[in-house]
């Protein structure tokens, strides 16, 4: 485990010209329902629509000119692929994105729009396919989460959150492979050790809850969650020890409460983020994370990869 606050600070400087410093939104309209002072970090307003640009840009900017000339490859369920395609386009680098069958059409269109090549694979095989394509093309892999420079890039959002709210009591983070929470928790614990950092993952895919209980990385069975960006089956090898060292707890959130959290975020909070981000609100609504009325709690909204049509899922959700 070697990710440090200094690497995150360097990443922040490196990517500053290419990303937006999103604001920390105070949303008093959600205080009553969530039982705390609600803040959100709305990365749905980030360029390419998700926090993923931070990590992708940081990784690509640390490659050598020789590596860049060989082109880059990644496997991604969407937001990371979009970020890599955009970054590659911006820097004039050739990119190939391996996408799982069933990826949302709006994400696929954006990736095509940025001029990247797409290779399709099953959810389970996508990393193998990416490895093969990478070898065949002699290209450089830009992994979606299991990479220290990716984690450092994602962690830059943690610097911004604490700059805007130095006395934050807790941060709740959506979790898939662990790149985001690895970076954020490293940043937060270095700057404000008293601030709690919690992960929220689908109860259908409890890879971190299970792994932390077992004390080693556990692979869980594949399931479809409405939090459709949080698809990893096993924690990243590089991410896991970082996350284990810096987090204060994990919530395995039921599908019902992902939807309830999402409805609160959109209907009352007025932020049209993706369900994968709203899982953080679901975790608190389900009572899985302890918060007090006077606590300042930041809910990390991963992105906005969601269409108006998908809101139909909320029709029968009771708050």
Which tokens in the block code for residue 49? 């629509």
Name the minimum Å distance from CB 186 to a second copy: 26
53 or 73: CB nearest a second copy: 53
Does the protein bind a second copy through residue 9 (CB under 8 A)?
A: no
Does the protein bind a second copy through residue 266 (CB under 8 A)?
A: yes
Beta bridge partners of 201: 252
Name the minimum Å distance from CB 282 to a second copy: 17
Does the protein bind a second copy through residue 319 (CB under 8 A)?
A: no
- Dist CA 249 CA 302 (whole Å): 19
122 or 307: CB nearest a second copy: 307
32 or 135: CB nearest a second copy: 32
SS3 of residue 50 by DSSP? strand
Question: Rounded to the nearest 10 degrees, how much is the dihedral formed by the CA atoms of 115, 120, 122, 128?
Answer: -80
106 or 254: CB nearest a second copy: 106
Q: Which helix (H) or strand (E) holds 209?
A: helix 207-214
Under 8 Å between Cβ of 213 and 240: no
Among 20, 69, 222, 245, binds a second copy (CB under 8 A): 20
Q: Which helix (H) or strand (E) holds 285?
A: helix 275-285
Does the protein bind a second copy through residue 158 (CB under 8 A)?
A: no
45 or 120: CB nearest a second copy: 45
Among 47, 119, 123, 218, binds a second copy (CB under 8 A): 47
DSSP label of 174: E
Q: Is 52 among the catalytic positions?
A: yes
Does the protein bind a second copy through residue 178 (CB under 8 A)?
A: no
Does the protein bind a second copy through residue 89 (CB under 8 A)?
A: no
Does the protein bind a second copy through residue 270 (CB under 8 A)?
A: yes
Beta bridge partners of 98: 75, 119
Using the rule CB under 8 A, give the single segment among 45-53, 115-123, 166-174, 176-184 that binds a second copy: 45-53
Residues 6+ apart with CB under 8 A from 24: 39, 40, 41, 160, 161, 164, 165, 298
Phi-psi region at 240: left, alpha or beta (left = phi > 0; alpha = psi -120 to 50): alpha
Give CA 257 to chain center in angstroms: 19
Name the minimum Å distance from CB 271 to a second copy: 7
Catalytic entry in 41, 59, 76, 77: 77
Euclidean distance between the first and the last CA atom of the chain, given in angstroms as a whole number: 41
DSSP label of 43: G
Does the protein bind a second copy through residue 258 (CB under 8 A)?
A: no
Give CA 49 to chain center in angstroms: 11
Which tokens in the block code for residue 300? 């990390």
Does the protein bind a second copy through residue 45 (CB under 8 A)?
A: yes
Among 14, 26, 70, 94, binds a second copy (CB under 8 A): 26
Does the protein bind a second copy through residue 267 (CB under 8 A)?
A: yes
Name the minimum Å distance from CB 47 to a second copy: 5
Catalytic residue annotation? 52, 77
Residues forming contacts to a second copy in the complex (CB under 8 A) are 20, 23, 25-29, 42, 44-45, 47, 49, 263, 266-267, 270-273, 304, 307-308, 311, 314
């Amino acid at each position: 485990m070697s990710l440090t606050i200094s690497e995150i600070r360097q990443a922040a400087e490196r990517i500053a010209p290419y990303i937006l410093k999103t604001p920390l939104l105070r949303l008093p309209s959600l205080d009553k329902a969530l039982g705390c002072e609600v803040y959100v970090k709305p990365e749905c307003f980030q360029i390419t629509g998700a926090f993923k640009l931070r990590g992708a840009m940081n990784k690509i900017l640390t490659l050598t000119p020789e590596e860049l000339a060989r082109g880059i490859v990644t496997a991604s369920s969407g937001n990371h692929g979009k970020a890599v395609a955009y970054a590659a386009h911006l820097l004039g680098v050739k990119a190939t994105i391996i996408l799982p069958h069933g990826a949302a059409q709006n994400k696929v269109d954006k990736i095509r729009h940025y001029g990247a090549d797409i290779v399709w694979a099953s959810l389970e095989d996508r990393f193998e396919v990416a490895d093969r394509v990478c070898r065949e093309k002699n290209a450089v892999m830009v992994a979606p989460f299991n990479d220290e420079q990716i984690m450092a890039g994602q962690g830059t959002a943690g610097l911004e959150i604490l700059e805007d709210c130095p006395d934050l009591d807790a941060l709740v983070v959506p979790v898939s492979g662990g790149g985001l929470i690895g970076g954020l928790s490293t940043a937060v614990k270095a700057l404000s050790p008293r601030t709690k950092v919690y992960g929220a993952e689908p109860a259908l895919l409890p890879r971190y809850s299970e792994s932390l209980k077992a004390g080693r990385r556990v692979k869980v069975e594949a399931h479809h969650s409405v939090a459709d960006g949080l698809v990893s089956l096993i924690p990243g090898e590089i991410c896991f020890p970082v996350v284990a060292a810096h987090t204060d707890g994990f919530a395995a959130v039921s599908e019902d409460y992902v939807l309830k959290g999402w409805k609160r975020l959109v209907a009352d909070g007025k932020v049209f983020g993706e369900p994968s981000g709203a899982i953080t609100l679901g975790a608190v609504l389900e009572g899985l994370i302890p918060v007090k009325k006077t606590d300042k709690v930041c809910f990390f909204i991963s992105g906005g990869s969601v269409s108006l049509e998908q809101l139909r899922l909320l029709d029968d959700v009771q708050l």
